[in-house]
Structure 1
Amino acid sequence: MTSESRHTALVHWAKIALPLSALVLLSTLFLFSGKVDPTTAAIYSKVDVTTLAREQRLTAPEFSGVTEDGAALTVQAATAAPDPSGNGASASKIIAKLEEGTGVVTDMRAKTGRIDPASGQISLSDGVAVQTSSGYRISTERVDMATDRTSLSAPGTVEAKAPFGTLHAGQMQIDATDPKTGSDLVFKGGVKLIYQPQK
């Protein structure tokens, strides 16, 4: 048999053997692969497509501005959904910071809240934590603050840890009376103080 005829025979058998080999490999792949259970697909899904299609929602929104008295206000949230009536948006996992021109900083955290820059109001609710750079750590259920001026109020019961002890009060208010001296932190409504002198 000449080399040319051997080559022709090899090509002839390759045309038959190679497609058959590919078919065997594909059959093996499908035979030994696991079956897909569509009912378990939801377990691994991290996105609720139905909810996303039904609800309008923003992820990681941020609001920032400067008040008339020179304080910088920033508000961040994990998610926010616009109010159907057009009055701002409800938000979750809110972090807010108020930095006054005098250097006083007030940090706030809350599980939920409402952001409405058009009306100049932001409300934090559900386990609000407030911490000031002057050493106060305050917990309450609701805090309302303005976006156009330094004004923050807790209309309900507050528990506070101060540099000099612990406080219990019916209400709390932070207002900027003078941009040069900074804001005043006022507790009112049946204030109880447990004084703890520093060692």
Structure 2
Amino acid sequence: MHYDNRHSMLVAWAKVALPLSALALLSVLFLFSGKADPEMAQLYAKVDVAELAREQRMTAPEYSGMTEDGAALTVTAAAARPDTDGAGASAADLKAKLETPGGFTADLAAKAGRIDPGSGAIVLSDQVTVQTSSGYRLATTKLEVATDRTALTAPEPVRAEGPFGTITADQMRLGTSESGAQDLVFNGHVRLLYQPQE
């Protein structure tokens, strides 16, 4: 019985002493902690803190939608900055995928671009590449991707590596034909370097 009283007393003192000790430790931490130095924080930060504070930016934005003809369009970017008029956003390191109900796919990539679904188009620029499931790999400086239908348009010179050779042209358009298949049409000064498969 004597042991129970001593144990109860010890528990009662611990209930008071331990929280008070914790409170004292926290007080000491706050008293002796210095102010955060923004200059030192920038040395260890992996991002430019001053730039983030100056301008609005979205990190890793993603756009997904369905066109009127049933194709799925997904666009991702490393970062995007909203336009001042709020109509769209400028983006960096874009990747996009277009998938039609018939199984055709196109994987797109670009160093820069502009996302504006309200205007019905996403514009890719700077080292644009397109890889299609039909075996074409295209490179151009600008590519317009429609968000309301299956359509890719390159208004500037394009180079394509295909199953039968290399094509260069002033313009290119990929769209859906009346039969539902995807047509790849080259316009302007079109040049084909035929390379027969062995």
1:164·1:198 contact (CA, 8 Å) conserved in 2? yes
Conserved 8 A contact 2:42-2:49: no
The code of the aligned residue for 1:142 comes to: K
Matched residues, percent identical?
Answer: 59
- 1:48 deviates by 1.4
Q: Distance in 2 between matches of 1:149 and 1:181?
A: 12
Q: Deviations over 1:48-70 (max 9, x none)?
A: 11111111110110000110001
Distance 1:38 1:71 in 2: 48
Which whole-Å deviations, capped at 9, do the CAs of 1:84-116 have from their partners, x for residues lacking one?
A: 012200000000010011101011000000000
How far apart, in 1, do the equivalents of 2:40 and 2:61 lie? Answer: 32
Determine the C-alpha separation between the residues in 1 that align with 2:197 and 2:40: 59
Partner residue, 1:22? none
Pairwise CA distance, 1:157 = 0.6
Structure 1: which 5+ runs fail to align? 1-36
Give a deviation string over 1:135-181, Cα, whole Å, max 9, x none: 00000000001101011100011011000000110000011123x53
TM-score normalised to structure 2 length: 0.78
Structure index of larger Rg = 1
Aligned partner of 2:196: which letter? P
Q: Which residue of 2 aligns with 1:184?
A: 183
> Does structure 2 conserve the Cα–Cα contact (< 8 Å) formed by 1:101 and 1:182?
no
| CA 1:140–1:48: 2 relative to 1, 3 Å | same
Residues 30-57 of structure 1, C-alpha deviations (whole Å, 9 max, x = no match):
xxxxxxx996764432121111111111
SS in 1 for 2:97: strand
User: Aligned partners of 1:170, 1:104: CA distance in 2, in Å?
Assistant: 24
Residues in 1 aligned to 2:124 and 2:84: alpha-carbon distance in whole angstroms: 19
Q: Residue 132 of structure 2 corresponds to which residue in structure 1?
A: 132
Q: Find the aligned partners of 2:189 and 2:166 in 1 and give their Cα distance.
A: 14
2:91 aligned partner, one-letter code: A
Q: How does 1:48-197 map to 2 (within 5 A)?
A: 48-178=48-178, 181-197=180-196
Aligned ranges for residues 32-51 of structure 1 at < 5 Å?
Answer: 42-51=42-51
The letter of the residue matching 1:175 is G
For residues 51 and 159 of structure 1, the distance between their equivalents in structure 2, rounded to whole angstroms, comes to 37
Give yes or no for contact 1:114–1:124 (8 Å, CA) kept in 2.
Answer: yes
Residues 77 and 137 (structure 1), Cα distance of their counterparts in 2 relative to 1, 3 Å cut:
same
Aligned 8 A contact 1:169 1:187 in 2: yes
Letter in 1 for 2:113: G
Tell me the distance in 1 between the aligned counterparts of 2:166 and 2:89. 35
Which runs of no fewer than 5 residues in structure 2 stay unpaired? 1-36
CA distance in 2, matches of 1:83, 1:38: 29
Number of matched pairs? 162
